[in-house]
Amino acid sequence: MRMLESIDFSENKLFGSIPESMSTLTFLSFLNLSNNRLIGRIPSSTQLQSFNASIYAGNKLCGLPLPNKCGVDGNPVPSIQNRGGKEWNGVEISWLLVSIAVGFIMGFWSVLGPLVISRQWRCVYYQFLEEMWLKISNSVNRHF
C-alpha cells in the first residue's frame, strides 16, 4: 500500500477527516480529494503539503497548503466570506435571496391577485387607469 503512486477520490461523497496514515504514502505523485465532505486539519507531512491546494477544493479542510487557518479544535476558522447561509444537499442557501423572492411573489400577487380573481376589482382598476390616461393626455395637449 505504501507504493501507491496515484489516487483519485474526487466526488465520492467521502466524509470525515483525512486519516493520518495518508501521510505515510511517500511514493504518491498524484492525489485528488476534491468535492467530498472532508473536514478538519490536513495531516502534517511533506507529502500532503506538496500538492496543489486545488486537490482539496470543495471540502471544509484547513492547514497547509490551504490558506484556511485551523482553530484549536482542528476545524477551519470561519472566514469573513461566510455569509451565514445553510447548506442543503451541498448547496448553500442564501436567506437574503430567499426573502427577496418571497417578497417579490407576495407583492406581485397582492396587486395582481385581486385583478385576476375579481371582475369588479378589474373594472374599477381599468376605469382608474383610463381616467388617469385622460388627465395626462389632456394636460399634455394643453401645454403643446
pLDDT tens track for 48-96: 778 888 888 888 888 888 887 887 766 666 655 544 555 555 566 778 8
Q: Are 54 and 31 in contact (CB under 8 A)?
A: no
H or E, element range at 30: strand 30-32
The residue written with cell numbers 399634455 in the block is 140
pLDDT surpasses 90 at 102: yes
Residues recorded for the chain: 144
List the 60-62 sheet strands across, edge first: 15-16, 37-41, 60-62
Non-local (6+) Cβ contacts of 52 within 8 A are 65
SS3 108: helix
> Using the 8-state DSSP alphabet, how is residue 73 labeled?
T
Q: Are 59 and 37 in contact (CB under 8 A)?
A: yes
Position 132 scores a pLDDT of 95
Q: Are 41 and 64 in contact (CB under 8 A)?
A: no
Higher per-residue confidence, 72 vs 10: 10
